[in-house]
Amino acid sequence: MTKHTLAILITAWLAFAAPLAHPAALAQDAPPTLHLEDVRALAYGGDMLAVSDGNDIRLYDADLTEIRVLRGHSKPVRGLAWSPDGAQIASASLDETLRIWDAATGQATATLTGHTDWVFAVAWSPDGTQIASGSADHTARVWDAGGGQTLAVLEGHEKSVTAVAWSPDGTQIATGSADQTARVWDARGGEALAVLEGHGDGVTSVAWSPDGAQIATASWDTSVRLWDPATGDELASLGDHEDSVSAVVWPAEGPFLATAGRDGAVIVWDAETGRAATEFRREGVTFFALAWSPDGATLASADLDGTVTFWDVSGLGAD
């Protein structure tokens, strides 16, 4: 299998201040949309939304007006993350690098090199001092966000590391891999603390619950699973997706989590009951990426045809 073919196969499965306020009326039969070309990553930060579009990153304000385009990667961007203060963006690319950008100017302030294959995922630590990344070179890395140096290389996965996420307290990192496992790591020393085994196919996305008590994983095996990060035990398996699940996200607070998949479904789950609270479907669509707005009122999804759709979830939990 050629490297180009493998890139197509992997990326086809992968989907990574003031709260962002979207238009008040988000009718579910005709939600607001953006139409781009090659969207594989979404990230909210402060009052802006970052969207990958091929090699570029487009920034939108609260009215979904494009305010700037970040250019510099030589191959498609596959992961995005905002710094906690909303001042910077980190991007992961198939050009084997990460970049840090000044959101106000659109200028790249650092290029992080060290991975030896495509970089799929990036996440910023809660305190803003470090960045984690996942790569097709089978490793995750922890970087100094200020100086760009590699602080730790997390080795143990047997295939591409497709997802990374920091625990809310910043002491641990969760990774997901095409080797069908997720792992929990000590963020400071880089030691593996737990291996989460149970998926029957590659893990595409990982997310910590807001209280840090659970990790959610999504997989090509069509399932979403919840885990105890301390023990590595599986707590629950969520059904209802009919094809591979590309993304899982937890909001900043609350009992819900959301998933998106190749079956054209965006499903919001009640994590306490394991049941679907609501869902949105677009027939014939493959969803790759998902992001929850900081105010918890909107879910943004990205699909194969380059459409970003904004779903109103402001009524979740209402009696």
CB 132 within 8 A of CB 122: yes
- For the residues 123-129, what does the mean pLDDT come to? 98
pLDDT score, position 11: 46
- For the residues 128-153, what does the mean pLDDT come to? 97
- For the residues 213-224, what does the mean pLDDT come to? 96
pLDDT for 20 beyond 60? no
- For the residues 115-142, what does the mean pLDDT come to? 98
pLDDT for 139 beyond 50? yes
Residue 15 pLDDT grade (very low, low, confident, very high; cuts 50, 70, 90):
very low
pLDDT score, position 16: 34
The DSSP H or E segment spanning 4 is helix 3-13
- DSSP string across 7-25: HHHHHHH----PPP---S-
pTM above 0.85, yes or no: yes
**Domain positions in the chain:** 3-16+44-60+70-312
pLDDT for 220 beyond 50? yes
| Assigned token pair, 289 | 């990426």
Residue 310 pLDDT grade (very low, low, confident, very high; cuts 50, 70, 90):
very high
pLDDT in tens, 58-105: 999 999 999 999 999 999 999 999 999 999 999 999 999 999 999 999
Strands, sheet with 119-124, edge to edge from the N-terminal-most edge strand = 119-124, 130-135, 139-144, 150-155
Strands, sheet with 77-82, edge to edge from the N-terminal-most edge strand = 77-82, 88-93, 98-102, 108-112
| Assigned token pair, 44 | 């909210």
Which of 5-9, 68-72, 249-253 has the least mean pLDDT?
A: 5-9
Indicate the fold that domain 3-16+44-60+70-312 takes in CATH.
Methylamine Dehydrogenase; Chain H (2.130.10)
| Spatial CA neighbour of 68 closest among 40, 101, 115, 28 | 101
**What is the C-alpha separation between 266 and 300, in angstroms, rounded?**
10
Three-class DSSP category at 65: coil
